[in-house]
Structure 1
Amino acid sequence: MNESGKILVLNYKFNNTETLLALLISGNRLKKAKVCGESELMDIYKGKVVSVSKPINACFVNYKDNKQCFLSLDEKKDLKAGDEITIQIVREAMGSKLPTATLSLSIPGKYLILAYNKPGVNFSGKLSMKEKHVLKHLLSETEIFTERENSPFGVIIRTNSASLTDSDEIIREYESLKQKMEEIVSYSDKRTCYSLLFKEQNDYIKFINDAYESEYDEIITDDPEIYKSVNESNPTKSVRFYDDERLSLSKLYSLDSKISEALGSRIWLKSGGWISIQSTTALTAIDVNSGKFEGKNKNQSEMIAKINKEAADEIMNQLILRNLSGIIVVDFINIKDNEEEKEFIGYLKELARKDPVKCEIVDMTKLGLVEITRKKISKTLKEQFGYETD
C-alpha cells in the first residue's frame, strides 16, 4: 500500500450505527480523525442576551431553538438582557458546559482566515520566518495588503499558504470570503432574532481544508455524493472514487483495528515500551512505561532518553488524533540529569509548535511530571463516537 498520506471520507459502521468519518492516514497509521455531523462550530447567528452575570463577567445568549451559549463580557462590557447581537460559536458544548461564543466574527478558508473589525495582516505561528518572508513578498502588491487602510477586514495567513507558488488561489479565496462577510454584516441587522447568518462548511470539507497539504496527496471516498461534493469544493489534490465491491475501503485500510487503538488506553512503542492514556473531566493523565525495552542492560541514561523521546513523539500524535485538550499531565521515565531535562523540555516545545491547536508545555514538576495545556475547541474523539468522559 502507498505510504504517502491519504484523506478518507466514508461511512463506517460503529456499534451497529453508520457513522460518517473523515480520516487522515499516513504510513499506514491513523493521524487524524473526525466524526462528521451537524456541528455548530464557527456558525454565525443573530442572538439575544437573556441574562448578565457580573460575578463571572459573562452573559448568556439565546441563539437557536432556545439553545443558549456563553459570552465573556470582556468583549463588550455594556451588554444587557434583551440586547440583540451577532455571535459566532467558537467552542462546542462539552459535557454540562454551554457552547462558547464571540462577537469577533471570522470566516476560515484553506489559505487564510478573514476577520471582521480586526484590521491588519498576520501570519500563522506555524509558518517559519523564511515562509513568512516569501509569502509577504508574494502578496505585498495584492489586495490582501493594499486594501488594509480603512478596511474593516483583517487577514490571518494560514500554514497551507506556504505551498503556493503564485497569488491567484489565495486572492480568489480572499475575494470569496470578503463577499461572504460583507453579506453577513449588511443583513445581520435586518434578520430576525435566532436567524442563522452563516453556516460553516460541512465537517469533511473543513477537515480537508484544515489538513496541511504536505500531509496527503489524495482524497478517497466510496460515497458518490461525497465524491461530487468534494470535487465541487475545488480541492487542490486529486479525488478518487473507490468502488471495489470485493474489498471495502474500511477493510483496505484496516480501520477496525486503527479506530480501536485510537479509542483504547494503551499504545505500544516500537522500542517495546508503552504509554497509557486516561482521561477524566478534570485532566488527562499519561503514563510512560519502559515495558520490554531490549536495551535494559545497556546504558540506562541512553535507554531512558530513547524511550522518552519516542514516547514524546507518540504522545503529541495522540493529542492531535484523540483531540485531547485542557490540562494534560505526563509521567515520563525519570530524568535525573538537569541538562538532559532542559534538553528534553526543549524537544517537547518544538513538537508542541507543530500542533495545529494551541498547545503549551508548561514545565516539569519536582516529581518529574510534565504539565501540558491544549486549547479546548471541540469534543474528544471518544466523545464524538458517543463515549462519556469518566
Structure 2
Amino acid sequence: MIKELIIDSSPNGATIALLQDKQLVELHKEQVSNNYTVGDIYLGRIKKIMPSLNAAFVDVGYEKDAFLHYLDLGPQVQSLLKLTKQVRSGGYQSKLLDGFKLEGDINKGGKISEILSKNQLIPVQIAKEPISTKGPRLSSDLSIAGRYVVLVPFSEAISISKKIKSNTERNRLRKVVESIKPKHFGVIIRTVSEGKGVDELQKDLLDLISKWELFITKLPSVEPSKKVLGEIGRTSTILRDILNPDFQHIYVNDNGMFEEIRSYIHEISPDMESIVRMHKHKEPIFEHFGVDKQIKGAFGKTVNLAGGAYLVIEHTEALHVIDVNSGNRTASKENQEENAYQVNKEAAKEIARQLRLRDMGGIVVIDFIDMHKPQNRKELFDYLRAEMQYDRAKHTILPPSKFGLVQITRQRVRPEMNIVTSEVCPTCNGTGTIRPTILLMDDIENNFNYILDEQNEKGITLCVHPYIEAYIKKGIYNRQMKWFVKYGQWIKVKSNPAYQITEFRFFSSKDEEIKL
C-alpha cells in the first residue's frame, strides 16, 4: 500500500489530504484560529459543580464552558491538584516528580463535589474539540504523546500496545523503558516502537520530559483559562501517528511548511526526510494531484460506487444513517443473493473510507441490502471489520440485526468534516437567469477600470473558465494584447476547470482574491 500526503497551505491554515494508492481516505483542516485542539492543556477554573451529572463546567476561555466528568478526572487528580497549588505558590521548585509525594487514588464511584469546588484551578486537557453547540470535553488525566511513547505523570505503570504481539519484543520494550523513565511517570509504548532501539526511545522520551518541564515552568505565571501547553500542529500530529515505510511522498505548496515538515521528519525519522517534496507546478496542488475531483465525488448526500450501486448518507443530531442501493446494477432472479452480497461488499469498503474521510463519529447505522444466507451476512460483517482496521479512531461494530442493519459506534473528538459539493451558479446566484453572455467581456473590462485605475493594483491575474481563456488568447493581436496596450501593464490570464462558463475572479500579485 502506497501512501502520500498532500498539504495545501494558505494564510488561514492548511488542508491535509491522505491518499492510499492514489485514493483519498482522510481529509483534515488545520486552522490558524483553532485554539482548542485535542491534546492542548489549559489551566481551567471551575465555574459550576453539577452533582446531578457528577460533573463540572470549566472555564478554558471558550465561549461555552467546557465539560469535565468525574470519570475523566483520572485516579491521581488529587496529586495534580496538590502539585498545581504548590507550584503556583512557589512551594515546589523541581521540574520533575522525584521529590513529590503522590496522593492516593480517588474512589471510582465517588462524587465530583468531594474533589472539586467552585473557582478552583485545575490543569485540564482537551479530550474532544467543540462540536456543534457543545463546548470542549475535558480530562484531567494528563498525558503527553510522542512518536514512540506517551508520557503519563503521577503513575508508575508501563503499558504496551496490544498490536505488538511478540512476547519477546514486549519484554524487551518494557525493560528498555523501565531503565530510562523518570520516577512517578508512567509510559504507554505505542505500536510504532516495535523494533526500535534504546536511542530512539530515549530521545522521544526526553523530548516529552522537556515538554513536561515547560508545563511546570509556565504553570506559576499562566492566567486562569489560558493555554499552558499546546499540542503540535495537525500536520505534525498526523505524521507522528501514521508515518511509516509505506509513505512514498509528502507534497507541500508552501516554503515555510516545507521546511517545518522536513525538520520534523528529520527528528522523528531521518531516513525518510527525502520524501518531502516542494510542489512547484503552476496549477493548484489539490487540482494537480486530483484531490479536488475526489472531494467533489466523495462528499455530498449521494456517493456513487464503481459497479453502478450508490450510497445515500444522511446526518442527524443523534446519529448518521447510510443506505445501500444497488442502483442500475442488474442480476438475474436466480442470482439476486450473490448480487446483493457483491454490492454490500463494495459498499462496505466505501463506507469504511467514508467514515475516515468525513470523520463521522457517534452512532452510524447502515442499511445493507437484505441477504437471506447467514453465511453471507457473517462474511459481510468480517469483511467490514477488516476494512475498518485501518481506521485510527476507536470504534465498535455490531453484527447485522435481524432487520439487516449494522450499527457502528466511532470515537468523535473533532467536528465532522462537512464539505458542500453542490454549487450555486455564481452568475445567476440561483435565480436561473444570467446576464447576456455577449456582455461578459464588457463586465470584465469594467472591473479592470476599477481595479487598475481606482485601486491602482499591479500584477493582477484574471482567472476564468478554460473556454473563456482560449477566447481571450485567440489570435496574435488578441484581447490580452489589447488590454496590455490599453492599461499599460500585462494582465495574466489563468484557467480553472472548476469555474462556471461565465464565472471570473481577480487575484492580486500576492495571489489573494480581490473582492469586488
TM-score, normalising length: structure 2: 0.66
Is contact 1:104–1:117 with CA below 8 Å preserved after alignment? no
Q: Pick from 130, 146, 170: which aligns with 1:136?
A: 170
Alignment match of 1:40 (pick from 36, 40, 44)? 36
Higher RCO (C-alpha 8 Å, min separation 6): 1
Closer/same/farther in 2, CA of residues 204 and 189 from structure 1, 3 Å limit? same
Q: 1:88 to 1:271 in 2, by over 3 A?
A: same
In structure 2, relative to structure 1, the CA distance for the partners of 1:234 and 1:158 (3 Å cut) is same
Equivalent residues of 2:15, 2:29 under 8 A apart: yes
Q: Is the 8 A contact 2:364 2:408 kept in 1?
A: yes
Quote the offset at 1:27 in angstroms. 2.1
* Farther off after superposition, 71-80 or 150-159: 150-159
Instruction: Please tell me whether residue 337 in structure 1 is matched to residue 334 in structure 2.
Output: no
Q: CA deviation at 1:214?
A: 4.8
Distance 2:338 2:168 in 1: 40
Question: Secondary structure of the residue that 1:217 maps to in structure 2?
Answer: strand
Cα deviation digits, residues 342-372 of structure 1 (max 9, x gap): 3332333343343211110134223211111
Whether the 8 Å contact between 1:123 and 1:157 is mirrored in structure 2 is yes
Mapping 1:1-390, distance limit 5 Å = 4-11=2-9, 20-37=14-31, 38-41=34-37, 42-64=39-61, 68-74=65-71, 75=73, 77=112, 78-125=115-162, 127-130=163-166, 133=167, 135-142=169-176, 144-147=177-180, 151-162=183-194, 164-185=195-216, 187-189=218-220, 191-235=222-266, 236=269, 237=272, 238-245=275-282, 247-293=283-329, 295-296=331-332, 299-382=335-418
Please identify the structure whose Cα radius of gyration is greater.
Answer: 2
Aligned amino acid, residue 59 of structure 2: N
Amino-acid identity (%): 26
Range moving further from structure 2, 44-53 or 358-367? 358-367
Superposed CA deviations along residues 235-281 of structure 1, whole A, max 9, x for unmatched, are 53321112123x33222112221121232222222332222211121
Distance in 2 of aligned mates of 1:384 and 1:196: 33
Residue aligning to 1:388: none
CA shift, 1:165, in A, is 4.6
Distance, in Å, in 2 between the alignment partners of 1:145 and 1:103 is: 25
Structure 2 gap ranges (5+)? 78-111, 422-516
The separation in 2 between residues aligned to 1:287 and 1:326, in whole angstroms, is: 17
Structure 1, gaps ≥5 residues long: 386-390
Distance 1:318 1:51, change over 3 A: same
CA contact (8 A) 1:44 1:88 kept: yes
Is the 8 Å Cα contact of residues 116 and 152 (structure 1) preserved in structure 2?
Answer: yes
Amino acid in structure 2 at the alignment position of 1:208: L
Aligned-residue offset at 1:114: 1.8
CA contact (8 A) 1:349 1:360 kept: no
Does the 8 A contact of 1:262 with 1:322 survive in 2?
A: no
User: How far did 1:331 drift?
Assistant: 0.3
**Distance in structure 2 (CA, Å) of the matches to 1:91 and 1:375:** 10
Within 2, Cα distance between the matches of 1:381 and 1:43? 21
Summarize deviations over 1:274-297 as a string: whole Å, max 9, x none.
222111211100011112335556
Out of 168-177 and 94-103, give the one that drifted further: 168-177
**SS, match of residue 95 in structure 1:** coil
Q: CA shift at 1:49, angstroms?
A: 0.3
Query: What RMSD, in angstroms, separates the aligned Cα atoms of the two structures?
Result: 2.6
The AA in structure 2 aligned to 1:91 is: K
Matching residue's letter, 1:303: N
CA shift digits 1:145-181 (9 cap, x unpaired)? 3356x8322222223334x553432321111112212
Q: 1:45 to 1:384 in 2, by over 3 A?
A: farther
1:197-225 CA distance string (max 9 Å, x none): 10111121112222252552221101001
How far apart, CA to CA, are the structure 2 residues paired with 1:30 and 1:151? 44
Give the secondary-structure state (helix, strand or coil) at the position aligned to 1:177: helix
* 1:187 Cα offset (Å): 4.9
The CA distance in 1 between the partners of 2:394 and 2:251, in whole Å, is 29
Rate the CA distance shift 1:19–1:201 in 2: closer, same or farther, 3 A: closer
Q: Distance in 2 between matches of 1:83 and 1:285?
A: 42
Structure with greater strand share of residues: 1
Residues 298 and 226 of structure 1: is their aligned pair in 2 closer, same or farther, counting only changes over 3 Å? farther
SS at match of 1:129: coil
Aligned residues: 372
Would the aligned equivalents of 1:7 and 1:208 in 2 still touch at CA under 8 Å?
no
